[in-house]
Amino acid sequence: MPSIKEPTRSSLVPRSERFTTPSLDGIELHTSRIDRPGATTLVLLHGGGANAHWWDHLAPRLAEHFRVISLDFRGHGDSDHPEFREPGAFDRDLDALLEHVEAPDAILMGHSMGAHVALRAAARHPPLRAIVAVEPSRGGRRGERRRTRLALATSRTYATRDEAIRRFQFLPTAPLAPEALRSAIAGHSVRQEADGRYGYKFDPGWFGIGGTEPPELSRIVCPVLIVRGSESSLLSAQGAAEWTNDIANASVVEIPGGGHNIHIECPDEVLAVVDTFVASFR
């Protein structure tokens, strides 16, 4: 594979789309998609407080073989930010997307919260082809998950757009992330608030919502790849092993050096292991 740091030679250009379905009760969701007629659909699911553009540096490369669709969950990115919040809403968003794009047998690749949504979907939808779960939290450092949630739940605004972009940081921190990539993601993550100040494109109220029922992992029949960063504070080596013990057809790959945001810090390495895993599902 060519280095992720090199400009992509792909002629496939992402396009934005907003859609709704009857199951969404009027809520519109946003996607960034690279269509490839006849190709298997690969859906990318971001983590909490993130958005579809966290995959922009990976999507064109993945689109060399797949129809790639990155989703903004409600309350995130350019999807609607409804006042009413309920457990399980992100599961409904994913189900609506799969219905909208007519891809019940898609491959799902999720990071953190998105990985958990993908695993719950696999327990509900046997037709799914495969799951790539990047850093689904389990057994992390004591208190780290709570500290991260509290930081995300704290709403901050800034006087200018430039200041908001400059202050943007990954949570947990991603010290290996290139500054150009951090700045690009930040630029897609900033919005102007009603008072004229600038904040970020996610609703911190979602971090106070109780969790959904844990999935019946024994019901997952498709292949699952767990991707862990060796320095992760939210997914321990033991936690990764527990995922593979609970899911019949699961394997784990640990990538040296990176932390919880491994797809940001070590994108080449993540793409290499994902490419090997999904090769037989193209």
User: Vertex 212, ends 208 and 214: CA angle to 5°?
Assistant: 135
- Per-residue confidence (pLDDT) for residue 241, from 0 to 100: 97
Coil vs helix vs strand at 85 = coil
- Per-residue confidence (pLDDT) for residue 200, from 0 to 100: 95
Average pLDDT over residues 17-36: 97
C-alpha pair distances (Å), 170 with each of 62, 66, 131? 23, 28, 24
Q: Quick: pLDDT tens for 28-61.
A: 999 999 999 999 999 999 999 999 999 999 999 9
Task: Look at 145 and 269; give whichever has higher pLDDT.
Answer: 269
- Per-residue confidence (pLDDT) for residue 189, from 0 to 100: 97
Average pLDDT over residues 14-30: 97
Considering the chain, what is the average pLDDT of its residues?
92
- Order of strands, edge to edge, in the sheet holding 130-134? 15-19, 29-34, 67-72, 41-45, 107-111, 130-134, 224-229, 250-255
The two structure tokens encoding residue 84: 């009413």
Output Rg (C-alpha) for the chain, integer angstroms. Answer: 18
Q: How confident is the model at residue 141 (pLDDT cuts 50, 70, 90)?
A: confident
| Burial of residue 260, with CB atoms counted within 10 A of its CB: 0-12 exposed, 13-18 middle, 19 or more buried | buried
- Per-residue confidence (pLDDT) for residue 145, from 0 to 100: 67
Task: Look at 10 and 272; give whichever has higher pLDDT.
Answer: 272
Q: How confident is the model at residue 2 (pLDDT cuts 50, 70, 90)?
A: very low
Whether the per-residue pLDDT at 147 is higher than 80: the answer is no
Q: What is the pTM of this model?
A: 0.93
- Per-residue confidence (pLDDT) for residue 153, from 0 to 100: 65
Task: Look at 83 and 11; give whichever has higher pLDDT.
Answer: 83
In percent, how much of the chain has pLDDT > 90? 83
Q: How confident is the model at residue 131 (pLDDT cuts 50, 70, 90)?
A: very high
Q: How confident is the model at residue 101 (pLDDT cuts 50, 70, 90)?
A: very high
Q: Where are the alpha helices (DSSP H) in 209-266?
A: 237-246, 262-265
**Among 46-55, 77-86, 128-137, 209-218, the least confident range:** 209-218
Whether the per-residue pLDDT at 105 is higher than 60: the answer is yes
Q: How confident is the model at residue 87 (pLDDT cuts 50, 70, 90)?
A: very high
Average pLDDT over residues 184-213: 90
Average pLDDT over residues 199-214: 84
What CA–CA distance (Å, rounded) separates 1 from 146?
A: 37
Task: Look at 6 and 168; give whichever has higher pLDDT.
Answer: 168
- Per-residue confidence (pLDDT) for residue 161, from 0 to 100: 97
Q: By the 8 A CB rule, do 16 and 72 touch?
A: no
Coil vs helix vs strand at 133 = strand
Coil vs helix vs strand at 280 = helix
What CA–CA distance (Å, rounded) separates 237 from 20?
A: 39
Structural domains in the chain plus CATH codes: 15-77+89-142+213-281 (3.40.50.1820)
- Per-residue confidence (pLDDT) for residue 167, from 0 to 100: 94
Q: By the 8 A CB rule, do 95 and 20 touch?
A: no
- Per-residue confidence (pLDDT) for residue 11, from 0 to 100: 53
Q: What share of the chain is helix, strand, coil (3-state, %, to 5)?
A: 35, 20, 45
C-alpha distance across the termini of the chain, in Å: 17
Phi, psi of 159 (to 5 degrees): -70, -35
Cis amide linkage into residue 172, ω under 30° from 0: yes
The two structure tokens encoding residue 6: 């090199």
